[in-house]
Amino acid sequence: SRPILDMSYSRHFLDFQGSSIPSSMKKLVVTKLSQNFRKAVTLQQDSPVPLPGDGDLLVRNRFVGINASDINYSAGRYDASVKPPFDIGFEGVGEVVALGLSASADYTVGQAVAYVKAGSFAEYTVVPARHAVPLPSVKPEFLTLMVSGATAYLSLKELGDLSEGEKVLVTAAAGGTGQFAVQLAKKAKCHVIGTCSSDEKGGFLKSIGCDRTVNYKTENVESVLRKDYPEGVDVVYESVGGEMFDLALNALAIKGRLIVIGFIAGYQNPTGLQPIKAELLPAKLLKKSASVRGFFLNHYLSDYKMALQHLLKMYERGDLVCEVDFGDMSPEGKFTGLESVFRAVDYMYMGKNIGKIVVELPHSVNSKL
């Protein structure tokens, strides 16, 4: 018999390890719209801990994921109607510490869960039970799959139309989502080319199956593609934008597909976009019967659970590397605590990370026993 904690009507409750859940917590809040994350976001020290409703879980966050789109969100680019203040952070992994009555049909206190929902940059987040993903344990590797892994899986499946032997170019290949695009394209028996910014990243890419790495700091990407792939590449998984988009477009083969999953080069710009040579786009696509397709995870939520279950099984079988970067190599060391989210965002925009950037939120249990 499982204890049921009906939180719908109670303000006083205990978590599963016998310590009181505090009445207030820290969280990050967007207080003004700006593409400068540090200017946009404030760390609030004493926000009330939210209460789960009947169908909700209260999750104590242990790991939260950093995404390039955190800056788009804090700049107000996703929804112009949203006015500050609003919560930020898209994904978390933690334990259920309280729950509503109907949520207790499927979940129990102490259970490990992951979720994708705005407001994860907080010590506690209320998550609708139907949106939570039960996990075997609280591990940061699971967090890499929630947004980054699912984006790579669904975009390549729905838009990539991969066939054995095709050439796939992945830009920012050693990043949070690039690492999955490389591995999934390899599993589809494609030849994978990955761009990156250091030899260390190139070594990581080779270790996960990349056939050709291009360090764009020491090699000219355009020359490499023209020389080594004169017939062009069949699919591009593109997340950089600007000049890299133009290079990728020009490198497409006949019937090539370019999938835009982001344009990080433009996120910190006041205008948001770096110019591309778009006036030539119709002619270039027509000449090659090629296509450019955009992918935004929110439009594929009907397939999301299926994708995630598939990826979780792959990881548990040992078929998928889920590289996590805690910032151990960053100047001030590991990303620990909500205050380090600011450093973690800077670290991502400096292009330093290998794998998914994750911030740990340590929790000390004040046991009353």
Average pLDDT over residues 285-290: 97
Which of 67-76, 322-331, 336-345 is least confident?
A: 67-76
Angle CA 342–345–349, to nearest 5: 140
Confidence tier at 111 by pLDDT (50, 70, 90): very high
Cα separation of 329 and 346, whole Å?
13
pLDDT per position as a tens digit, 163-186 = 999 999 999 999 999 999 999 999
**Where exactly are the structural domains of the chain?**
24-138+323-360, 146-299
**Helix 243-250 vs helix 221-228: angle between axes, to the nearest 10 degrees?**
10
Answer whether residue 274 shows pLDDT above 80: no
Q: How confident is the model at residue 330 (pLDDT cuts 50, 70, 90)?
A: very high
CB contact at 8 A, 57 and 96: yes
* Cα(182)–Cα(323) distance, integer angstroms: 12
Task: Collect all residues with Cβ–Cβ distance below 8 Å to 367 and sequence separation of at least 6.
Answer: 17, 18, 19
Please state the rounded mean pLDDT for residues 321-343.
Answer: 97
What's the pLDDT at 272?
Answer: 62
pLDDT band at 363 (very low <50, low <70, confident <90, very high): confident
CA-to-CA dists, residue 305 to 134, 142, 176, 230, 295, angstroms: 11, 14, 19, 39, 17
CATH, domain range 24-138+323-360:
3.90.180.10
Q: How far is CA 238 from the centre of its chain?
A: 15
Here the tokens at position 321 are 């590397």
Judged by DSSP in three states, 293 sits in strand
pLDDT band for 368, please (50, 70, 90 cuts).
very low
- Please state at what angle helix 243-250 crosses helix 281-288, rounded to 10 degrees: 30
CATH class for the region spanning 146-299: alpha beta
Show the DSSP H helices in 37-97 as ranges: 37-40, 69-74
pTM score, whole prediction: 0.92
The span from the CA of 260 to the CA of 254, in Å, is 18
Identical fold at 24-138+323-360 and 146-299? no
Whose tokens are 């404030």? That residue is 42
Average pLDDT, the chain: 92
Average pLDDT, integer, range 37-54: 95
pLDDT tens-digit readout, 136-169: 999 999 999 999 999 999 999 999 999 999 999 9
